[in-house]
Amino acid sequence: MRGKMNLDERKKVSRELFKKAYRAQSKGSIEEAILLYQKSIAAYPTPEAYTFLGWAMSHFGKFEEAIGFCKQAIEIDPQFGNPYNDIGAYLIELGHLDEAIPYLEKATKAPRYESYCYPHYNLGRVWEEKGHLKEAIRSYQKAIEENPEYHVALQAIERLKGSLH
C-alpha cells in the first residue's frame, strides 16, 4: 500500500481506516477493528492507531501485546498521553502495580492528552490496591477535578470514605 501513494495520500488513507476501526470498535466489532487499525498502520503509522490497536487487543486479555503497541505509539510521539495511561492500566490488570505508577504519572503530565481523569483514576486504583487509601482518595479527587462528571471516581471516593470511618 505504501509504495504507490505519496505521503499525503497515505496519511489520508490511514486516517480514514482509523476512523472506520474506531467505529467498528465502538459497535463491539473488535476483530474488525483490529484488522482496520493494522491497515491504518500499514498505510501510515500513527500513535493513535498503535494505541487503539492495543486497546482492542486488551479486550481479549492480550495485555502484553497491547503494551507493545502502546510502546510503539510512544516511540512515534512521546508527548501523546493515551499510551502511557493504557500501559499503566494493562500493568494493573497484570498485577504489576509498582511498574504501572511511572507510566500513569507520565500520562498525568503528557502535553498531548484530553482525558487526564483516566490516569488519575488509575493511580487511585493502584493506591487502593496497595492499601494506601488516603493517597487513593487524593488520586480519585484529581480525576474528578479533571472531569466532574467522572462518576466511577466519585463512587470510588464514596466507597473509600466509608472504609476510613
The CATH code of the domain that includes 90 is: 1.25.40.10
From 53, 73, 98, the end of a domain falls on 98
67 and 16 within one domain: yes
86 and 120 within one domain: no
For 6-28, the pLDDT digits (tens) are: 999 999 999 999 999 999 999 99
Angle between helices 117-129 and 133-146 (to 10 degrees): 170
pLDDT reading at 5 higher than 90? no
Q: What is the rounded distance in angstroms from the CA atom of residue 7 to the CA atom of residue 1?
A: 11
Q: What is the rounded distance in angstroms from the CA atom of residue 87 to the CA atom of residue 128?
A: 18
Chain mean pLDDT for the chain:
95
72 and 20 within one domain: yes
**Residue 152 within a domain:** yes
The boundaries of the domain holding residue 135 are 115-165
Longest dimension (CA), the chain: 66
The closest alpha carbon to 129, from 85, 106, 98, belongs to 98
88 and 22 within one domain: yes
**Residue 103 within a domain:** no
pLDDT reading at 149 higher than 90? yes
pLDDT for the residue 165: 62
83 and 15 within one domain: yes
What are 80's strand-pairing partners?
112
Specify the pTM: 0.93
91 and 13 within one domain: yes
For 35-88, the pLDDT digits (tens) are: 999 999 999 999 999 999 999 999 999 999 999 999 999 999 999 999 999 999
From 48, 63, 98, the end of a domain falls on 98
**Residue 44 within a domain:** yes
122 and 93 within one domain: no
Cell of residue 122, nine digits: 488509575
Q: How many domains does the chain have?
A: 2
